[in-house]
Amino acid sequence: MSTARITLVNPNSLTKVTDAIAQAVVPFQRLPLEFRCLTSTGGPAGIQTQAEADASIAPMAQLFLQEADTTDAFIVACFSDPGLHGLRDLVSAPVLGIGESSVLTAMSMATRIGVIAIAAASVPRHLRYFRAMGVADRICAELSLDMKVSELADAELAFARMATVGKTLRDAHGAEVLIMGCAGMADLRGRLEDACGLPVVEPTQAAVAMAAGRVFSR
Amino acid sequence: MSTARITLVNPNSLTKVTDAIAQAVVPFQRLPLEFRCLTSTGGPAGIQTQAEADASIAPMAQLFLQEADTTDAFIVACFSDPGLHGLRDLVSAPVLGIGESSVLTAMSMATRIGVIAIAAASVPRHLRYFRAMGVADRICAELSLDMKVSELADAELAFARMATVGKTLRDAHGAEVLIMGCAGMADLRGRLEDACGLPVVEPTQAAVAMAAGRVFSR
Amino acid sequence: MSTARITLVNPNSLTKVTDAIAQAVVPFQRLPLEFRCLTSTGGPAGIQTQAEADASIAPMAQLFLQEADTTDAFIVACFSDPGLHGLRDLVSAPVLGIGESSVLTAMSMATRIGVIAIAAASVPRHLRYFRAMGVADRICAELSLDMKVSELADAELAFARMATVGKTLRDAHGAEVLIMGCAGMADLRGRLEDACGLPVVEPTQAAVAMAAGRVFSR
Amino acid sequence: MSTARITLVNPNSLTKVTDAIAQAVVPFQRLPLEFRCLTSTGGPAGIQTQAEADASIAPMAQLFLQEADTTDAFIVACFSDPGLHGLRDLVSAPVLGIGESSVLTAMSMATRIGVIAIAAASVPRHLRYFRAMGVADRICAELSLDMKVSELADAELAFARMATVGKTLRDAHGAEVLIMGCAGMADLRGRLEDACGLPVVEPTQAAVAMAAGRVFSR
Amino acid sequence: MSTARITLVNPNSLTKVTDAIAQAVVPFQRLPLEFRCLTSTGGPAGIQTQAEADASIAPMAQLFLQEADTTDAFIVACFSDPGLHGLRDLVSAPVLGIGESSVLTAMSMATRIGVIAIAAASVPRHLRYFRAMGVADRICAELSLDMKVSELADAELAFARMATVGKTLRDAHGAEVLIMGCAGMADLRGRLEDACGLPVVEPTQAAVAMAAGRVFSR
Amino acid sequence: MSTARITLVNPNSLTKVTDAIAQAVVPFQRLPLEFRCLTSTGGPAGIQTQAEADASIAPMAQLFLQEADTTDAFIVACFSDPGLHGLRDLVSAPVLGIGESSVLTAMSMATRIGVIAIAAASVPRHLRYFRAMGVADRICAELSLDMKVSELADAELAFARMATVGKTLRDAHGAEVLIMGCAGMADLRGRLEDACGLPVVEPTQAAVAMAAGRVFSR
């Protein structure tokens, strides 16, 4: 293996989100890795509800099969990790989910983890997922911005709300590390760390790091 | 409301399975309920892997939307409850899953619950699900028959293996109640109870009972 | 079996409470079921403490033995389910507890369950019970009205406090479904749902539904 | 306080069991404590089922009230701790249960605790109790002798079976400390330790120690 | 054995703290026990961080080996129980930790336990410890005084803050019993109980009681 | 940052183990990382007991302080992660433990994780650690080779036992992924995967991958 190829799939059909996901990958370009960030064009226009998460799986599975020959590791680039376990059955390359990877990474950083969700509707779905993962005890709280994915276009507003939520997680719930519970906000990571005085895990970066670990430990 | 309509959806495309599901409903025909057992014709031909479970969701969602106007309660008739939470967001009628319903019903019967799975590949998926439900501590063990859905055609062989697994769950794991971890085996319930000397929960019946509870408590 | 007979036992000696329990059953009268609501006249005058719950068991056991021949399913109509497991050993018919049934029913409706207790003194007892059941992770919070059973006579006051507590469970604890943690308040269920904008599980109705499920799945 | 008075109550009506409980106290006679071992004459003749445990509570409560004036700490001398929380509400003196005390004591000795039950029927009841206590994760296994209380009269037979079960807990389940899951077997403790090469917690002694701690830390 | 010898080791090098630990032992002087309170002079000057807790282990191990011949039970007198399990491997006498003992003792007193920590930095370390012990579900909350060990010299200030934190644990988190999460504050126990209206466990006393139980049950 | 420097510390004093740890790093040499594998010469000669793990912390802390200026990420290269949390407080660079990293990595690969321990004495210590981490539910079993670190010199014998234990974890406990519960066995990883037909996580490699993730996501 000369250069390992990491394929990141945005399970929703918004190319803007795919572009933002690509931003998360930039720091890793020092590594002998080739990154491809793909949009699952058959997916829903954003994933907030469980139904949208479920609806994204079938088109993403098609994309995985199509890219399997030229991929050394896949990343499902949506915090709910739609279809993660099924996709692992589908292809032989490692498949990482950004939600799972972000929690596992945060677990190596501090005891109490706070999660910032975009939408309140996502919180019970994430809770079920943390429980299925067997890590719910490590999440001290998950709070939402109560902003729509579309509102995130106003990055300053998003950042201000995120910082407020982050501080509440820190002060009222004891969070020692924060997870951004959504793809595509890597550009805000450093500012959020400064605002809250806590390390922040950006989920796509967490998944890329774990994918790199998988391909380079062979 | 004169007669409540319960729509049971078999998420796989095998009409034989739908027919077997219909058998489970027979004892409830004394109730003022109208049952429709539908096949999700766009679904996979059997659900054993997580990928098959995921692939069954999108066509089932279509069927739900189509039947929503004439349905008072829906039942997802596959033990893995594919898409359950998303389908609940999709329609206003109650949606019950046969996996969830069977566990909840068994929890009202005894302390230690044993689950009989058809395929070994289903066990980790079920385990993640029991954990997501927050009930994993109640499942003393899940053991598989290691038979394919197709092999179940030989009902005697299936029954013999099932009885052996049931007795192991009872004797080696302390199970006081058994769950059949698959739709479409209602006809074996009584014989399994006799063979193992334990109550057996048939998941479709558990879901029908919970669905009836929902429609009649209004 | 033509008509199945469900015996509901109020373990305290207050006939007013028994009458209120009977109200909960009304919607189920469309089913081929015969309901008897009995008062355990030897029981304590109300059950708030663990000692009162324990003291209610012996007289209730007598009543169960007396009614066993003419009962197809029993219901212990007190949220603490006093004596539930022992009573199951005592009679061959299914025995449902309204506390257990309400939690199991709520678990089929949403991820995070809020419980409204009448008395603060009941909360640790309920907590021990939820833990014994293995479902404590599903209860996002239990808050009490801090009203005595006697104060509940003022239904408007009770309702106002209940609605306030319900909204706190929803807004501060993320409850998506509420359980009324006491028998005999079925008449307030609809109003509480309207006030809080959440589904409400009335425990006696939950138990009747599960009892019906048991008798009709044979 | 000159000499503190510890009242041990055997909740079943068998004076033989009370006598055996009194044996457990002997090593503590070096302490400035006065021990009274009482038989709850209104209790059932042995406690193996949950129904028997429940039936023992009411007569024991009477005895507690009667002895409250002359007691500095009470001990419920049955491994299932019938009525423990309610009895704590009833009297102002500390009330210790031998089941709870034995688990808490074993938790200060080793990580994995094995429990030896007399009857298989007790195991699910104990399991519910360990869960209610929030300590189920520390119990690596509970196995039963499958002997009736009456059979225990043959001390050699009881000991032989107990030693076999203890070794299975050690070798197959990793137990590092054993709990005798029944009152009245203190005389076998030393021999069981020798046979299994593990420390053994005798529950009445564990409760006496905790009761002494409570009265002497004032 | 005539008089049993209990050796309490203060793992930090502050003799003031050792003196305060000695105060906790006073009520137990009615027992046939000889107490020695030793300072681990090679230990750190106070234990608030995990690094300080870890650094205290090696010098304490030396002290244990040195005192083993003349000790019937050891007590590690720091709430974080540094080195507890390793020290148990090192000497044959029982070794009790004051943190572990205080939690186990509180578990025999009430369902929901509140812990008062001195420093916020200790809370995640305690949380990891409660989880390792398998008892985290019993701790309803741990809140810190946010005072340095040195500030505790002002006993009135310490007491006032402790009482405030204790009432918050009671009112906002439902604590029914409080644990002082630090050695050396036994003199404040009674006043804290009066101020909060709740029983308070002083950890050194809890450990002495459990150590006494171990030596007198032989 | 041109080349990031990863410092791996073997907390025991055996240079042979350090050499074996260095072997684990080889596949990562394609990355722009500089690896230093250091022996904590003041540490114990092997770490099997909790006391040895504790004794290794103080000398390792010295080494960390000494290397802090020239290190971008540290790795504690012992499966018990001695001192991990304290070392994180000591230096500003990320500190990864190979035990923690291996579990987190395995959690991204499959649902049920089996752990192969060298010594039986390590198992309860690991169990406490998995619980402290909040991940114990994901470990289906940990079984030991019952070989001393010294015996591992006979690599063939070690491999044969390891393969047997791995197959037992797979067949009797349902493990889908295995963790080698010890540093220094990277050379056996591929053979163990072949023998058991399961993916195997080598803990040092898992930690290096996570450390790389940390340094490259900046």
pLDDT at D2: 67
Element holding B196 (H helix, E strand): helix B189-196
pLDDT at C2: 67
Kindly compute the dihedral angle of the four CA atoms of residues C84, C86, C89, C91, in this order, to the nearest 10 degrees. Answer: -60
Angle, helix C98-107 to helix C122-133, in steps of 10 degrees: 60
pLDDT tens for E86-104 read: 999 999 999 999 999 999 9
Which of D50, D84, D91, D123 would best serve as a mutation to test chain C binding (most C beta carbons within 10 A)? D50
pLDDT band at B161 (very low <50, low <70, confident <90, very high): very high
pLDDT band at B217 (very low <50, low <70, confident <90, very high): confident
The alpha carbon of residue D155 is apart from the nearest alpha carbon of chain B, in Å, by 27
pLDDT tens for E128-182 read: 999 999 999 999 999 999 877 677 778 788 899 999 999 999 999 999 999 999 9
Chains D and A in direct contact, meaning 3 or more beta-carbon pairs closer than 8 angstroms: no
pLDDT tens for B99-124 read: 999 999 999 999 999 999 998 999 99
Sequence-ordered strand ranges (E) for chain C: 4-10, 33-39, 73-76, 95-97, 113-117, 139-144, 177-181, 200-201
Residue labelled with tokens 């450390």: F211
d(CA B90, CA B64): 8
Domains of chain F: 4-98+205-217 (3.40.50.12500), 100-202 (3.40.50.12500)
Chains A and B in direct contact, meaning 3 or more beta-carbon pairs closer than 8 angstroms: yes
Mean pLDDT across chain E, nearest whole number? 94
Angle, helix E57-67 to helix F57-67, in steps of 10 degrees: 160
pLDDT band at D36 (very low <50, low <70, confident <90, very high): very high
pLDDT at A49: 87
pLDDT at B2: 67
pLDDT at D149: 67
In 3D space, the residue among F34, F48, F38, F49 whose CA is nearest the CA of residue F15 turns out to be: F38
E36: buried, middle or exposed (CB in 10 Å: 19+, 13-18, 0-12)? middle
> Contact B128/A85, CB-based, under 8 Å?
yes
> Which whole number is the average pLDDT over B23-32?
93
Give the nearest chain A residue to E124 (CA atoms). Answer: A111
pLDDT tens for E41-70 read: 999 998 888 889 999 999 999 999 999 999
Residues in chain E: 218
- Chain mean position to CA A19: 14
For chain F, the three-class secondary structure string (H helix, E strand, C coil) is CCCEEEEEEECCCCHHHHHHHHHHHHHHHHCCEEEEEEECCCCCCCCCCHHHHHHCHHHHHHHHHHHHHHCCEEEECCCCCCCHHHHHHHCCCCEEEHHHHHHHHHHCCCCCEEEEECCCCHHHHHHHHHHHHCCHHHEEEEEECCCCCHHHHCHHHHHHHHHHHHHHHHHHHCCCEEEEECCCCHHHHHHHHHHHCCCEECHHHHHHHHHHHHHHCC
pLDDT at D211: 97
* Cβ-based neighbour number of residue B106 at 10 Å: 27
The alpha carbon of residue D53 is apart from the nearest alpha carbon of chain E, in Å, by 20
pLDDT tens for C129-168 read: 999 999 999 999 999 998 776 777 787 888 999 999 999 9
pLDDT at D158: 85
pTM to 2 decimal places = 0.96
pLDDT at B194: 98
Give yes or no for residue D152 having a pLDDT over 80.
Answer: no
Give yes or no for residue D1 having a pLDDT over 60.
Answer: no
Give the nearest chain A residue to E127 (CA atoms). Answer: A111
pLDDT tens for C161-196 read: 999 999 999 999 999 999 999 999 999 999 999 999
pLDDT at F2: 67
Give yes or no for residue D32 having a pLDDT over 70.
Answer: yes
> Which whole number is the average pLDDT over D168-179?
97
pLDDT tens for A151-207 read: 777 878 889 999 999 999 999 999 999 999 999 999 999 999 999 999 999 999 999
Chains F and E in direct contact, meaning 3 or more beta-carbon pairs closer than 8 angstroms: yes
d(CA E45, CA E42): 9
Partners of residue E85 in chain D, C-beta under 8 Å = 111
pLDDT at C140: 98
pLDDT band at E187 (very low <50, low <70, confident <90, very high): very high
- Contacts of residue E96, defined as CB under 8 A and 6 or more positions apart, other chains included, come to D108, E73, E74, E75, E76, E207, E210, E211, E214
> Which whole number is the average pLDDT over D134-143?
98
Greatest CA span in chain C, whole angstroms? 48
pLDDT at E2: 67
pLDDT at B149: 67
Q: Does residue A160 sit in helix, strand or coil?
A: helix
Please report, in tens digits, the pLDDT of each residue of chain F (218 residues total). Answer: 468 999 999 999 999 999 999 999 999 999 999 999 999 999 999 888 888 999 999 999 999 999 999 999 999 999 999 999 999 999 999 999 999 999 999 999 999 999 999 989 999 999 999 999 999 999 999 999 987 767 777 878 889 999 999 999 999 999 999 999 999 999 999 999 999 999 999 999 999 999 999 999 88
pLDDT at A149: 67
Partners of residue E123 in chain A, C-beta under 8 Å = 174
Q: Chains with ≥3 Cβ pairs under 8 A against F?
A: A, B, D, E
pLDDT at E48: 84
ipTM greater than 0.90: yes
Q: Does residue E58 sit in helix, strand or coil?
A: helix
pLDDT at E149: 67
pLDDT band at B147 (very low <50, low <70, confident <90, very high): confident
- Contacts of residue B88, defined as CB under 8 A and 6 or more positions apart, other chains included, come to A50, B95
D197: buried, middle or exposed (CB in 10 Å: 19+, 13-18, 0-12)? exposed
The alpha carbon of residue D96 is apart from the nearest alpha carbon of chain C, in Å, by 15
pLDDT tens for F2-17 read: 689 999 999 999 999 9
pLDDT at E154: 84
d(CA A59, CA A67): 13
> Which whole number is the average pLDDT over C23-33?
94
